[in-house]
Amino acid sequence: MALIVVIDDDEAIRTLIAAALRFEGYEVLEAEDGAAGLSMVRDDRPDLVVSDINMPVMDGFAMCQALRADPAIQATPVILLTSLQERAHVRAGMTSGADDYLTKPIDFDDLLAATATQLNKQLMRQSAQDTALGTAIGEALLAQEEKLSKLYEKRLIAELGEKWPTAEALVTDEKFSSATVLFVDVVNFPLLSEKLSSTELSAVVRQFYKNVGDTLYLFGAFHMQFVGEGLLAVFVDSTDTDTVNHGLRATRAALGLIDSAQRVNGFLQTHFSGRALPRFEVCVALNSGTVTLAKLEDPLWGRPQILPVGDSVSTALLLQKQATQSGWKIAASASLLREVDGGLKTGRRKRFSLAGRSNALDATEVLGLSL
């Protein structure tokens, strides 16, 4: 049976978590701070670590960083525990090495589901290393990644107290020599419009986009804005996301958006059963390159507005249209693939002719992340 180390300075919470895991048959060791927990991981080599963030002696972040820096234990999966008031902790954990997070107060069903997912994922990694099952193992890993994405979506923070970077904070245009543009759009919006009233359609779209902002925020988007029924986001390298480059973070966000669309289909079946509605489908395009956030003055209200401009932006919008016609869910340009440097599972490849462009664009269908 799997061995799990639980780290929390609150004895009552630690005891409850340990009891729930033991009830499921897991072997559990307990530590009261990050330093003691790290020592326990080095000595006992557990299959999983469940750790609080705010602790004396060594907090959860420091423990996770030390664990990842030790070659002997760096592959050990880590689930961090945080509260709804610690959104910055969630983002830091997601971009600095944690495999998953849970919010306090702990929902024990979520705890057991997240534990099973991480242990299954670890087991499949080991199986892939020990055997040469090829395609069968790849399909199994993809299934586990999809389950993990659903867990992320279920526990994404519902309300964000902190505002997105506003135009007022930008006194001049900002130019990024290396950035990734993500554009997502509802591909069958006209078909849904025919079947639903404006009020019903608004509820469906809101069901999807209410989680999109959280997903993009958690994976470190620098700027986002609506474009028609679609949403455009810009990812750049910054001080709080420097452990994972902007291309990979944008790709992870894209996979989360596809999973969100699947959840909307459940919403349609629940609230509009018997209406013969088309499936809710979205398509995401990813492109990397130079991006400028141009500051424009609003002549009506006097407030400055921000507009992402540049060839990288327009290419992403054009690529999304072509990918939709080809039936792809996520399309990545060659420049994005260079950014992630082999970190993706890919499918079909195609040279797209983009409207108004003399040169075709090489693009690849993204299926998931490689482990």
The DSSP annotation for 68-134 comes to HH-TTTTT--EEEEEETT-HHHHHHHHHHT-SEEEEESP-HHHHHHHHHHHHHHHHHHHHHHH---T
pLDDT (0 to 100) of residue 159: 39
pLDDT (0 to 100) of residue 298: 60
Structure tokens at 270: 């629940």
Percent of the chain residues topping a pLDDT of 90: 42
pLDDT (0 to 100) of residue 241: 56
Domain membership of residue 336 (yes or no) is yes
The verdict on 131 and 173 lying in the same domain is no
Give the CATH number of the domain where residue 360 resides: 3.30.70.1230
pLDDT digits (tens, 9 = 90+) for 226-238: 888 789 999 998 7
Please give the mean pLDDT across all residues of the chain: 83
The verdict on 21 and 124 lying in the same domain is yes
The verdict on 236 and 317 lying in the same domain is yes
CA–CA dist 112, 116 (Å, integer): 6
pLDDT digits (tens, 9 = 90+) for 63-74: 988 998 899 998
pLDDT (0 to 100) of residue 170: 41
Instruction: Of 15-29, 138-152, 246-260, 284-298, give the lowest mean pLDDT range.
Output: 138-152
DSSP bridge partners of 223? 234
Residue 269 has pLDDT above 60, yes or no: yes
Structure tokens at 236: 């750049």
pLDDT (0 to 100) of residue 341: 80
Residue 16 has pLDDT above 50, yes or no: yes
pLDDT digits (tens, 9 = 90+) for 169-214: 444 788 999 999 999 999 888 888 898 998 888 888 888 887 787 7
Phi, psi (degrees; rounded to nearest 5) at 352: -95, 135
**DSSP H/E element including 197:** none
Mean pLDDT of the region 295-309: 72
pLDDT (0 to 100) of residue 309: 92
Number of domains in the chain: 2
Residue 167 has pLDDT above 70, yes or no: no
303: containing domain: 167-369
- Amino acid (1-letter code) at residue 67: L
Instruction: Of 87-101, 266-280, 302-316, give the lowest mean pLDDT range.
Output: 87-101
Instruction: State if pTM tops 0.75.
Output: no
pLDDT digits (tens, 9 = 90+) for 242-256: 567 899 999 999 999
Residue where a domain stops, chosen among 94, 129, 155: 155
The verdict on 298 and 202 lying in the same domain is yes
Mean pLDDT of the region 32-40: 95
Coil vs helix vs strand at 33:
coil
